[in-house]
């Protein structure tokens, strides 16, 4: 007996499998599953990277944020001067 997946019974899962075989053919299903697995792996890695970045940002002190803001302001001012053609 197949376990229930998201509230679907055995009959529903068999119908879904039959439709997939009809749509893609039996030879394409392993390739489709492999591609889906790769996409899931990449998605998980990217979301883990985003969570790590958030944790790093939360660990910064207020002083570090102020220093970074000043440095960014200086870079922005320098970029603006170069854009206008000022050399001062």
Q: How many domains does the chain have?
A: 1
In a domain, 1, yes or no: no
Query: At 4, is the pLDDT very low, low, confident or very high (cuts 50, 70, 90)?
Result: low
CA distances from 3 to 7, 9, 20 (A): 10, 8, 19
In a domain, 51, yes or no: yes
For 3, list phi and psi in degrees, rounded to 5: -70, 155
In a domain, 78, yes or no: yes
23-76 residue pLDDT tens:
888 888 888 888 888 998 989 888 887 777 666 666 667 778 788 888 889 988
């Amino acid at each position: 007996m197949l376990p229930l997946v998201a509230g679907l019974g055995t009959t529903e899962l068999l119908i879904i499998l039959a439709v997939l075989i009809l749509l893609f053919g039996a030879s394409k299903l392993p390739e489709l599953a492999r591609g889906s697995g790769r996409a899931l792996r990449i998605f998980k890695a990217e979301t883990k990277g985003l969570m790590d970045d958030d944790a790093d940002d939360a660990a910064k002190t207020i002083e570090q944020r102020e220093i970074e803001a000043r440095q960014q302001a200086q870079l922005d001012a320098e970029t603006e001067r170069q854009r206008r053609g000022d050399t001062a």
